Structure 1
């Protein structure tokens, strides 16, 4: 067994098929399949059930994921630590981020980090819920994660670094039901309207579910996992959308009306990392973010 084989195994796990994994690794599929077969022979157990072009993890494959990620991360850390002796000129930071927070504040974070360390690349992995983010960090899929949640993060397996909160706002078409000049709306005044919502487990969905629980009668017009569809749906007049104010500038540029909702409700934004040693690139990213937060007098959340 070697680390290269473990990297190939994890690529199949992450991409869901040998074909997509081979493409991501710039390998031929036969070469990838041969390497994984060799790993299975070495371990004396099948790691995947091969069903046509699909693969499903066996129990042995599932058991291998976390130690494989630990081994691969260990090698990456060793290489990065040696390279950093001569300054942080290269490397990679992998971050799991929820969609809205990938718009802001993540883009600003990456911009500041890139100016300080232009030779380091950043990979952003999609995660739809706060639990997805912490799981990706905990299991080593990424070193860092950016999430938003109504409640503080109390997962003992990750380190949490609170950032400024994001309040909820309403997106509406400019030719919709609200007069120009309107900037604030009471949430109870959403009664009778059609809403575009996210899937269960997201902050924007929880906001609408709480609204319904309060007795405010709204119609769930669309449930969508693809956040990129929200603005076009609002512009098309399909419904209104409750999102975080990370979307404010993009929405305004697209010609969508943005209204603050009262009473004010916010999501806690948190950057999470792994306990223990991390790569110099991840440490530098975290240091850049926290230094910027301190310079802007960000108070830690309780």
Structure 2
């Protein structure tokens, strides 16, 4: 069994087929296919189902995949430890980021990281928090910036780097624009503009509404908090946004605190509790803790 065979297997699954995998590893497709056949012959099991239009894992392949990923992580860790002992700082970190997250400033974070550790390559993945948590758990990602709800995800260690109120934003002259606060239950009477299902802020809103027996009427959805505020400024509804977003749009929207209960949005750097973090991942987590929000 060779390391490249395991790497090819993982790449085929992540890329969705032999052709794209071959492009990623810069090897001709027949060479990739031949190595997978050798791996299957050694294990005595077919790992990939090639009978359909695409390629999918067999039951044996699904059982082997986590171990293949773990083996590759171990090899990467071994190389990074050797580099550290030699006084080097090389490696690769796979970073996830919650969709349309503006806190902290991710380009600024990556700029500082690259300046401090120019030998470390970064793969950046953007997705909703639920998907990022799954990718952390299965080892696809090393570390991720995720949005938290009332219940922290199990199996992950968290470093909270942002914690702020979630508020309502309304256009001037619209209902609630003369209010400083509004009860969560009263929002039933208004059309809401919110992040989509799967986003951390939407989870916070939905969990609070469920607990309070409130049935919100979501009229519009957008993935960018600033867009929510801009839609509210046009009189299209009440935007549910982070307080910092409302503060950035004070010329066009009025900020209303949500009470009974109040809502808070939290962002955290997260990584697997079990298993060794790579040197690169540890360096990124440490740097993120010092980035201003």
TM-score for the superposition, normalised by structure 2: 0.77
* Structure 1 segment 107-118 matched on structure 2, within 5 A: 107=106, 108-118=108-118
SS at match of 2:118: coil
Partner in structure 2 of residue 282 of structure 1: 281
* Structure 1 segment 144-223 matched on structure 2, within 5 A: 144-153=143-152, 155=154, 157-170=155-168, 177=174, 185-186=181-182, 187-188=184-185, 190=187, 191-200=189-198, 202-208=200-206, 210-211=208-209, 214=212, 218-222=216-220
Partner in structure 2 of residue 85 of structure 1: 85
Alpha-carbon separation, structure 2, partners of 1:47 and 1:4: 15
SS at match of 1:103: coil
Q: In the TM superposition, what is the alpha-carbon distance from 1:267 to its structure 2 partner? A: 2.8
Partner in structure 1 of residue 142 of structure 2: 143
Q: In the TM superposition, what is the alpha-carbon distance from 1:166 to its structure 2 partner? A: 3.4
Q: In the TM superposition, what is the alpha-carbon distance from 1:7 to its structure 2 partner? A: 1.1
Alpha-carbon separation, structure 2, partners of 1:143 and 1:167: 29
More deviation in 64-73 or 268-277?
268-277
Alpha-carbon separation, structure 1, partners of 2:180 and 2:34: 61
What does the per-residue CA deviation read over 1:97-123, in whole Å, with 9 as the maximum and x for residues that have no partner? 3224x4322614334323322332322
More deviation in 261-270 or 197-206?
197-206
SS at match of 1:160: strand
Q: In the TM superposition, what is the alpha-carbon distance from 1:76 to its structure 2 partner? A: 0.7
Whether the 8 Å contact between 1:221 and 1:239 is mirrored in structure 2 is yes
SS at match of 1:19: helix
Q: In the TM superposition, what is the alpha-carbon distance from 1:229 to its structure 2 partner? A: 9.7
Whether the 8 Å contact between 2:246 and 2:253 is mirrored in structure 1 is no
What does the per-residue CA deviation read over 1:124-165, in whole Å, with 9 as the maximum and x for residues that have no partner? 2234234x333322322122122222225362x333323331
Alpha-carbon separation, structure 1, partners of 2:15 and 2:39: 18
Partner in structure 2 of residue 262 of structure 1: 258
SS at match of 1:54: coil
Alpha-carbon separation, structure 1, partners of 2:252 and 2:121: 33
Against the structure 1 CA distance between its residues 41 and 170, is the aligned structure 2 distance closer, same or farther, given a 3 Å change threshold? farther
Against the structure 1 CA distance between its residues 5 and 229, is the aligned structure 2 distance closer, same or farther, given a 3 Å change threshold? farther
Q: In the TM superposition, what is the alpha-carbon distance from 1:57 to its structure 2 partner? A: 1.6
Gaps of 5+ in 2: none
Whether the 8 Å contact between 2:76 and 2:91 is mirrored in structure 1 is no
Alpha-carbon separation, structure 2, partners of 1:170 and 1:124: 31
Alpha-carbon separation, structure 2, partners of 1:232 and 1:203: 12
Alpha-carbon separation, structure 1, partners of 2:186 and 2:121: 45
What is the Cα-based RMSD across aligned positions, in Å? 3.7
Whether the 8 Å contact between 2:158 and 2:269 is mirrored in structure 1 is yes
Alpha-carbon separation, structure 2, partners of 1:246 and 1:6: 45
